[in-house]
Amino acid sequence: MTLSAQSLDAGPRPLRARLAARRVPLSILALCLLPWILPSEALAVNVLVYGLVAVGYNLLFGYTGLLSFGHAAFFGTGAYVTGIAIGRFDVPWFAALALGVAAGGALAFVIGLLSIRTRGIYFSMVTLALSQLVYYIALQASSWTGGENGLRGFTVSELNLFGWTVDFLDPVKKYYVIMVFAAAALWFVSRILNSPFGSVIEAIRENETRARACGYDVERTKLISFTLSGLICALAGTLFALHLAIVPLDILHYHTSGMIVMMTLLGGAGSFFGPFVGAFAFLLMEDVVSLWTPHWQIVVGSVFILFVLFLPKGIWGTLMAWRAGR
Amino acid sequence: MMSSKQGKSGASRRDVLAGLSAGTALLAMPWVARAQGETIRIGFPTPLTGPFAAEAKDQVKSAELAVKLVNDKGGIAGRKVELLVRDDKLNAGEAATRTLELIEKDKVHAVVGALSSAVQLAVNEVTRARGVIYVSISQSDTINEVKDFSRFTFHEALNPHMTTAAVAKHTFKQGTKVAYLVADYAYGHEMLRGFKRAEAALGATGVGEILHPFGAADYSTFMPRLRSMRPDILCICNFGRDQANAIKQAVDFGMKQQMQIVVPVLLHNQRLAIGPEAFEGVIGGANYYWGLEEAIPSAKAFNDAFRAANGGAVPTDYGAYGFTGVYSLLLAMEKAGGTDTDKVIAALEELQYDIAKGPQHYRKCDHQSVQSVLVLESKKKADMGSEADFFRVVATEPASESILRSCSELGLPA
């Protein structure tokens, strides 16, 4: 499924290339081990969810080269739509999940249409402004969203599908159910990146003018990339809603957008597994350090500064570059 | 920090370890006999970072005091009590995660805490689904209502309805004109709703409302508009730093010469931060004030224990919630003889307690703590007897269900 140009060469391939070709199964293996490494399953699910948001964001930021500051909107929309569908309309969980993803994707398409023609800092500002718009809609429409108090009352305690029942309150089972979706999304992203489309978005990142000169429709490609990225963030949002059984208003706040950018940078923008590593490092640091000092922000902030200064490729990106350099 | 104590139920990754150590388990049979002596763990999520950090730290100190007092007396049925404090960062998602951790990993027997309407509702949702007892210690009307009601949740804090009812009763009169400056989020809205209701009942008239964003630093644009409404009372419905900033700027604009400033909750820490001049004459409600010790023996006992544990400092209003919340729960556990959820719930519903501020009990239908509401006035600097002598108790609204919304209004069976 992850055939690449290298497989046409008959000769033995270096380890790195072989690893890269197996990146999806390897990533999934790493995710399988996650709840056994982290101090709690609840944190592991958070890493999964935020890792997935960062993967979605990375598609746009790391691979297409567009710095969006509004991805909280898609994350939050996915979560809210799923919550409302279950809580208000008694929609079965899988349908609610699909609705959440569809709504987030549709919103990404609209915001993409409005913002894609701007570039650089203007693009960041437009996406930020539009996502703030979504925030205020959720704040004001409190009869639907619960406003400031957040959305509640849609706890899913067991999942039913094709006669199977899973106890969704059991943390380990919950983790692996959510992981199945994350794994599917990872495969999907890998598939996109290995397709000709994946090469085009990287071409746009490297040199937009040249990509245009080669005959690619840059605007359309950016829009598709933006929408796909929004879809994956919305999927993460729906999983977040199922996991915590609440949707806090903060999920739409620009702080969330900022956190997504931070996680992506920390892990390594433009690397396949980097965003997960970023989410892992960020959330683990926050969790562990805040247990022994209320001044955890100083520690986490310093680590982040050190990374930006000395490891601009992020944890995973640096590791990969170091391996490649040997 | 990881707890190594074996939980009684629930599958987890420890199951694998359990398989490996199956043989050892047989040898460890005496452990089963000691299960009775297992420590009682109380989870305590609270916003140690963020704008309410000062209040949160007071809550932790008071909660720790309650645990210490019980442990000094030999614990509950011979079991020690342990408080697991977690920073919820004033973020509902973080609080839900932390609560899941406390329940799933640390296997807590109950949860107490949270200091914001949204955060406590998130904790409530998590504990409700898992059948874990939760004592919430932050103001909210929503948590009493049928939609969020949980058999496992008890609300120890005042709620906006009763706070505003008591404050309005002692400040609003027939024909009083009231203007409102309201923080635009759940806390402000619920306080405003409470005041509006009291206003109609008492025959006062509202002359206008202005909403301000949460966390606003500049209130100067609102003051001329409020002044032009010509109210007798300016009611400032916000919390934390917002309260201090709004009052300070109202005073700078000379509003106090023309109207009485009233707040739903007169905050100890904000008065401490801003000083007596700006707050002088401001009237507001409170769940607790240390000055109660002159009249109420349990307040004296609480203050003395707190002073002894904290180098002579007095407990604050929001801090006291940490004490009464944890202590009432522990009293119920003592009555129930352990941590059996149904027995503890029954004991909490029956409990009559006087541990810091006079008699209290949890109303059966909505699990709201029926308790007195104090109406305080901030003292002039010259009248202050000591460093911490901030307020004069204008009135004490006695503990009574009459200032609560009725069970049927909340949608609950009486």
B36 pLDDT band, cuts 50/70/90, is low
CB contact under 8 A, B142 and A150: no
Other beta carbons within 10 angstroms of residue A299's beta carbon come to 16
The band of A296, judged by pLDDT with boundaries at 50, 70 and 90, is confident
| Residues 265-324 (A) with a CB less than 8 A from some CB of B | 288, 290-292, 294, 296-297
Q: What is the pLDDT of residues A133-143, one digit of tens each?
A: 999 999 999 89
pLDDT attached to residue A7 = 46
The answer to whether residues B320 and B357 touch, using CB atoms and an 8 Å cutoff, is: yes
Give contacts of A291 with chain B, Cβ < 8 Å.
1, 86
Which among A315, A313, A256, A255 has a CA at the least distance from the CA of A285? A315
Tokens coding A196:
């000709």
Pairing label, strands B133-136, B81-87: unpaired
CA dihedral A208, A214, A215, A220 (to 10 degrees): -30
Model pLDDT for residues A103-139, shown as the tens digit of each residue: 999 999 999 999 999 988 999 999 999 999 999 999 9
Residue B6 has pLDDT above 50, yes or no: no
Contact B129 A155 (CB under 8 A): yes
Question: CB-CB: which of B97, B125, B185 is closest to A46?
Answer: B97
Tokens 């247990």 — which residue? A291
Q: Coil, strand, or helix at residue B112?
A: strand
Tell me which DSSP letter residue B76 carries. B
What whole-number distance in Å separates Cα of residue A107 and Cα of residue B348? 48
Task: Return the structure tokens found at B184.
Answer: 């635009």
Contact A11, A197 (CB under 8 A): no
- State yes or no: pLDDT of B16 exceeds 90: no
Contact B128 A155 (CB under 8 A): yes
Check CB contact of B332 with chain A, cutoff 8 Å. Answer: no
pLDDT at B1 over 70: no
β-pair type (B369-370, B373-378): unpaired
For residues A74-88, give the mean pLDDT. 97
The whole-number pLDDT of residue A48 equals 96
Give Cα separations from B145 to A152, B155, B189, B224, B408 (angstroms): 13, 11, 16, 38, 10
- Tokens in use for B19? 């398989």
Q: Say whether B288 sits in a helix, a strand or coil.
A: coil
Which position has the token pair 């570059």? A321
CB contact under 8 A, B105 and A42: yes
Would you state the structure tokens that stand for residue B405, as one six-digit string?
């919304």
pLDDT at A326 over 70: no
Give the per-residue pLDDT at B32.
Answer: 43
Half-sphere CA count of B234, side-chain side, radius 13 A? 30
| Residue A307: pLDDT band with limits 50, 70, 90 | confident
pLDDT band at A323 (very low <50, low <70, confident <90, very high): confident
**pLDDT level of residue B81 (50, 70, 90 thresholds):** very high
Using alpha carbons only, give the angle B265, B270, B275 rounded to the nearest 5 degrees.
120
Judging by DSSP bridges, how do beta strands B110-113 and B40-46 pair with one another? Answer: parallel
Q: Are B88 and B94 in contact (CB under 8 A)?
A: yes
- What pLDDT sits at residue B185? 85
With an 8 Å Cβ cutoff, is A143 touching chain B? no
Q: Tell me: the pLDDT tens digits for A216-245?
A: 999 999 999 999 999 999 999 999 999 999
**pLDDT tops 70 at residue B12:** no
Percentage of chain B exceeding pLDDT 90: 83
**In angstroms, rounded to a whole number, what is the distance separating the alpha carbons of residues B379 and B324?**
26
- Domains in chain B and their CATH numbers? 14-158+298-371 (3.40.50.2300), 161-286+372-403 (3.40.50.2300)
**pLDDT tops 90 at residue B30:** no
List, for residues A1-48, the tens digit of each pLDDT value: 444 444 444 456 677 777 778 899 999 999 999 999 999 999 999 999
pLDDT band at B369; cut points 50, 70, 90: very high
Query: Which pLDDT band, with edges at 50, 70 and 90, does A275 fall under?
Result: very high
| pLDDT classification of B13: cutoffs 50, 70, 90 | low
Rama region for B38: left / alpha / beta (φ>0; ψ in -120 to 50; rest): beta
pLDDT at B27 over 70: no
Q: Do B100 and A148 touch (CB under 8 A)?
A: no
- Mark which residues 302-321 of B lie under 8 Å from A by CB: none
ipTM of the shown complex: 0.90
Helix (H, G, I), strand (E, B) or coil at A104: helix
Beta-strand (E) ranges in B160-290? 177-183, 205-212, 233-237, 260-265, 283-286
Residue given tokens 């452990």 in the structure block = B31
Q: B387 Cβ partners below 8 Å, 6+ apart? A: none
Chain center to CA of B33: 38
Does B130 contact chain A (CB < 8 Å)?
yes
DSSP summary character for residue B388: T
Task: List CB contacts (< 8 A) between B43 and chain A.
Answer: none
- Residues 6 or more apart whose Cβ sits within 8 Å of residue A278: A51, A54, A262, A263, A264, A265, A266, A267, A268, A314, A315, A316
How far apart CA B127 and CA B100 sit, in angstroms, is 8
Provide the chain A residues 230-259 that lie in CB contact (below 8 A) with chain B.
240, 244-246, 248-251
The closest of B253, B270, B289 to B396, measured between CA atoms, is B289
Interchain proximity B117–A249, CB inside 8 Å = no
> In the predicted model, what is the mean pLDDT of residues B316-334?
96
CB A6 within 8 A of CB A13: yes
In whole numbers, what is the pLDDT of chain B averaged over residues?
Answer: 90
The upper half-sphere exposure of residue B50, i.e. CA atoms within 13 Å in the direction of its Cβ, equals 18
Residue with tokens 């056994």: A36
